[in-house]
Chains A and B, each alone.
Chain A
Amino acid sequence: RKEVEQDPGPFNVPEGATVAFNCTYSNSASQSFFWYRQDCRKEPKLLMSVYSSGNEDGRFTAQLNRASQYISLLIRDSKLSDSATYLCAVRGTGGFKTIFGAGTRLFVKA
């Protein structure tokens, strides 16, 4: 089993749709959690850190469920510009080793 697993893609959704991604992790000692966005052939960029209490940034909401060991990302009112690959990342104790999921591709269509 991979240490960090994400929903298989691609997700194809119409503009305005709500879409959710999940990411499970196997190490219960993991401390920090992130969602990154990666456009084609570009470097990943931080979308959101994920906090225990959940956090929201505009149309994006991230949640952490430690008991079930997963994080989620919800995108509301999808835009064409949201089309990208979304990577979850998990950092362990000490915060130095980071494991990324393989990514989920999202296509938003007009």
Chain B
Amino acid sequence: EAQVTQNPRYLITVTGKKLTVTCSQNMNHEYMSWYRQDPGLGLRQIYYSMNVEVTDKGDVPEGYKVSRKEKRNFPLILESPSPNQTSLYFCASSFSEGGSHEQYFGPGTRLTVT
């Protein structure tokens, strides 16, 4: 089954404790992206990757890191989480050619930082 998976689905952590949210897709997509979704603000892009070893900042990259060492994986790293990073996070992937392809989203990770 073609899908995007994220882990963990739910996470409660404390300020400053490094964490990683994993994202994996099995559709051989070149393009992957991370978003956060907050009430009233919609989906905001954190980072995206056009292919292996190629990443770039989205609109809200502060406090986050990413890496793309393999085509299928695109982990999101919070080196020192803070309460303002409490949010619902979605990973997405798509084919990249022409930019006209739909994005497939993972099920989401609900993160709470206390």
A contact residues vs B (CB 8 Å cutoff): 31-32, 34, 41-46, 49, 87, 89, 91-92, 94-103
Given A44-B90, A87-B43, A102-B40, do A95 and B98 touch, yes or no (CB 8 Å)?
A: yes
The answer to whether B50 touches A96, judged by C-beta atoms less than 8 angstroms apart, is yes
* Further 19 A-B residue pairs, CB within 8 A, beyond A94-B99, A97-B58, A102-B40: A31-B99, A32-B98, A42-B107, A43-B105, A43-B106, A43-B107, A46-B103, A49-B102, A91-B99, A95-B96, A95-B99, A95-B100, A96-B31, A98-B33, A98-B48, A99-B45, A100-B44, A100-B45, A103-B42
Residues of A within 8 A of B45 (CB): 97-100
B12 at the interface (CB under 8 A from A): no
How many interface contacts (CB-CB < 8 Å) are there between A and B? 60
B62 at the interface (CB under 8 A from A): no
Return the contact of A97 from the options B42, B48, B108 (Cβ within 8 A): B48
Given A44-B105, A95-B96, do A100 and B58 touch, yes or no (CB 8 Å)?
A: no
> What's the minimum C-beta distance from B97 to chain A, rounded to whole angstroms?
8
> What's the minimum C-beta distance from B100 to chain A, rounded to whole angstroms?
5
Residues of A within 8 A of B96 (CB): 95-96
B contact residues vs A (CB 8 Å cutoff): 31, 33, 35, 40-45, 48, 50, 56, 58-59, 88, 90, 96, 98-100, 102-103, 105-108
The answer to whether B105 touches A45, judged by C-beta atoms less than 8 angstroms apart, is yes
Residues of B within 8 A of A34 (CB): 102
Bound CA span A42–B40, Å: 16
Residues of A within 8 A of B35 (CB): 100
> What's the minimum C-beta distance from A3 to chain B, rounded to whole angstroms?
9
Return the contact of B42 from the options A42, A96, A101 (Cβ within 8 A): A101
The 7 A-B residue pairs whose C-beta atoms are closest, nearest first, are A95-B99, A102-B42, A43-B105, A100-B43, A46-B102, A32-B100, A91-B99
Of all chain A residues, which has the CB nearest B57? Answer: A97
Of all chain B residues, which has the CB nearest A33? Answer: B100
Bound CA span A94–B97, Å: 9
